[in-house]
């Protein structure tokens, strides 16, 4: 869906059509949950402190969120998807993958089905949605970005490389700021650059697992299938503070502690995780989540914390007051069934040995017997 929360509010109050609308709680301690494209054009985005958002868009109308209403609309939209095809994999309240291969005989071409979906969501729910159509999940997701707002973008099988290769390397799943910086030193700027670089060369810079992953994506090879109604297994930990915290260093220390807890629970349960999600709840009780899929699945706290730290830092909260933080590992793979070969550098092997030793100590003497030095300093 396009600017989902804000779109629902505009639907409820037509006087807001064409206006700069921000969903969130007004005041110095509030944060932006959603914003119309009119507000986004001025630089407003989700998770931004409300005070900064209103400086960027001083004439914006602030609407308090109604999550029960958003959940109802989300359920109705998912029902529309499921009437098109039973193969629906929700990603969040406002996003899903659909496998429409079996629906084409009855409903027409992928373009026609995309238009049917958009029309029904608009007619039945009064909001807009953008649809990306492609032969793989990866390309369909990218196509959706090109369709926004309120559009349809189709990438036919014979046009995939033409569509993909001019994009910046950041379009590839798994390329964050650090990886992009490493690749840029090789002069790699576009997806085409990755596709035309030998895997051995990429491996020297980012490791074998990441190199093979990015090379495959650069040639649009994505073997994943839409998995409907999958009950997502996850392992996580949260911490609610006695009083709100706005110190980034203290918050990062909490993420480090939670990352260690999640990693140990993963190892105890014999799982690797493909995706790390952080949760931040603000003083006004609004919550924001951010997720990142990993190049290689992991059960190491050092990987989980590095990802959590990057996600939190990228939110640029500017000392917003925070009541709760959480870390969750999803996309779980049983170690006994996983065909993933972890890319173990000397540094990775050292961390694995260290965390295995920590597991043995905590099992014998309790969870407080050993912890990272940074957490001991924080406790003191």
Query: Could you tell me if 147 and 33 lie in one domain?
Result: no
Which of 9, 38, 72, 95 is the catalytic position?
A: 95
Query: Could you tell me if 72 and 58 lie in one domain?
Result: no
Distance CA(4)–CA(36), nearest Å, equals 9
Q: Worst-scoring range by mean pLDDT, 3-7, 42-46, 357-361? A: 357-361
Query: Could you tell me if 19 and 123 lie in one domain?
Result: no
At 174 the pLDDT is 74
Q: In this structure, is residue 189 part of a structural domain?
A: yes
Q: In this structure, is residue 126 part of a structural domain?
A: yes
CATH number of the domain enclosing 139: 3.30.70.270
Query: Could you tell me if 154 and 170 lie in one domain?
Result: no
Q: In this structure, is residue 223 part of a structural domain?
A: no
Q: Worst-scoring range by mean pLDDT, 122-136, 242-256, 284-298? A: 284-298
Query: Could you tell me if 246 and 369 lie in one domain?
Result: yes
Q: In this structure, is residue 103 part of a structural domain?
A: yes
Q: In this structure, is residue 174 part of a structural domain?
A: yes
Asked whether residue 350 carries a pLDDT value surpassing 60, the answer given is no
pTM here is 0.69
**pLDDT tens sequence across 159-216:** 999 999 999 999 998 787 788 889 999 999 999 999 999 999 999 998 888 899 899 9
Domain boundary among 36, 65, 94: 65
Q: In this structure, is residue 132 part of a structural domain?
A: yes
Q: In this structure, is residue 129 part of a structural domain?
A: yes
By residue range, what is the domain housing residue 16? 4-65
Query: Could you tell me if 88 and 199 lie in one domain?
Result: no
SS3 of the chain? CCCHHHHHHHHHCHHHCCCCEEEECCCCCCEEEEECHHHHCCCCCCCCEHHHHHHHCCCCEEECCCHHHHHHHHHHHHHHHHHHCCCEEEEECCEEEECCHHHHHHHCCHHHHHHHHHHHHHHHHCCCCCEEECCCHHHHHHHHHHHCCCCEEECCHHHHHHHHCCCEHHHCCCCCHHHHHHHHCCCCCEHHHHHCCCHHHHHHHHCHHHHHHHHHHHCCCCCCCCCCCCCCCEEEEEEEEEEEECCHHHHHHHHHHHHHHHHHHHHHHCEEEEEEEEEEEECCCCEEEEEEEEEEEECCHHHHHHHHHHHHHHCCCCCCCEEEEEEEEEEEEECCCCCCCCCCCHHHHHHHHHHHHHHHHHHHHCCCCCCCHHHHHHHC
Query: Model confidence at 270, in pLDDT bands (50, 70, 90)?
Result: confident
Give the mean model confidence (pLDDT) for residues 311-340: 81
Query: Model confidence at 369, in pLDDT bands (50, 70, 90)?
Result: very low
Query: Could you tell me if 255 and 202 lie in one domain?
Result: no
The answer to whether residue 343 is catalytic is: no
CATH number of the domain enclosing 188: 1.10.150.20
Query: Could you tell me if 240 and 367 lie in one domain?
Result: yes
**pLDDT tens sequence across 110-143:** 999 999 999 999 999 999 999 999 999 999 999 9
What's the number of domains the chain is made of?
4
Query: Could you tell me if 264 and 372 lie in one domain?
Result: yes
CATH number of the domain enclosing 353: 3.30.1490.100
Query: Could you tell me if 181 and 285 lie in one domain?
Result: no
Cβ distance 342 to 296 under 8 Å?
yes
Domain boundary among 28, 47, 65: 65
At 341 the pLDDT is 41
Query: Could you tell me if 284 and 208 lie in one domain?
Result: no
Query: Could you tell me if 286 and 323 lie in one domain?
Result: yes
Q: In this structure, is residue 224 part of a structural domain?
A: no
């Amino acid at each position: 869906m396009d600017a989902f929360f804000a779109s629902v509010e505009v639907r409820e109050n037509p006087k807001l059509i064409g206006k700069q609308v921000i969903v969130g709680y007004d005041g110095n301690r509030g944060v932006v949950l959603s914003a119309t494209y009119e507000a986004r054009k001025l630089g407003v985005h989700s998770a931004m402190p409300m005070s900064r958002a209103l400086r960027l868009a001083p004439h914006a109308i602030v609407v308090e969120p109604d999550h029960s209403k958003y959940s109802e609309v989300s359920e109705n939209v998912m029902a529309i998807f499921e009437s098109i095809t039973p193969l629906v994999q929700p990603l969040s309240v406002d996003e899903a993958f659909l496998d429409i291969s079996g629906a084409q005989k009855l409903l027409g071409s992928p373009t026609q089905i995309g238009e049917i979906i958009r029309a029904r969501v608009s007619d039945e729910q009064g909001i807009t949605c953008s649809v990306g159509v492609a032969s793989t999940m990866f390309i369909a997701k990218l196509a959706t970005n090109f369709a926004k707002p309120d559009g349809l973008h189709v990438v036919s099988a014979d046009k995939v490389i033409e569509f993909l290769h001019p994009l910046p390397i950041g379009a590839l799943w798994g390329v964050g700021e650090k990886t992009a910086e490493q690749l840029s030193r090789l002069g790699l700027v576009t997806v085409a650059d990755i596709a035309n670089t030998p895997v051995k060369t990429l491996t020297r810079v980012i490791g074998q697992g990441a190199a093979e992953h990015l090379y495959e994506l650069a040639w649009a090879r994505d073997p994943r299938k839409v998995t409907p109604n999958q009950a997502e297994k996850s392992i996580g930990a949260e911490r609610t503070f006695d009083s709100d915290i706005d110190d980034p260093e203290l918050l990062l220390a909490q993420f480090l502690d939670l990352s260690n807890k999640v990693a140990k629970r993963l190892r105890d349960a014999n799982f690797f995780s493909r995706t790390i999600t952080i949760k931040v709840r603000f003083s006004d009780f609004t919550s924001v989540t951010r997720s990142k899929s990993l190049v290689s699945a992991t059960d190491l706290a050092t990987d989980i914390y590095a990802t959590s730290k990057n996600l939190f830092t990228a939110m640029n909260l500017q000392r917003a007051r925070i009541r709760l933080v959480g870390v969750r590992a999803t996309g779980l793979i049983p170690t006994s069934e996983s065909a993933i070969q972890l890319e173990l550098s000397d540094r990775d092997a050292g961390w694995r040995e260290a965390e295995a030793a920590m597991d043995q100590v905590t099992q014998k003497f309790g969870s407080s017997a050993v912890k990272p030095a940074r957490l001991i300093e924080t406790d003191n």
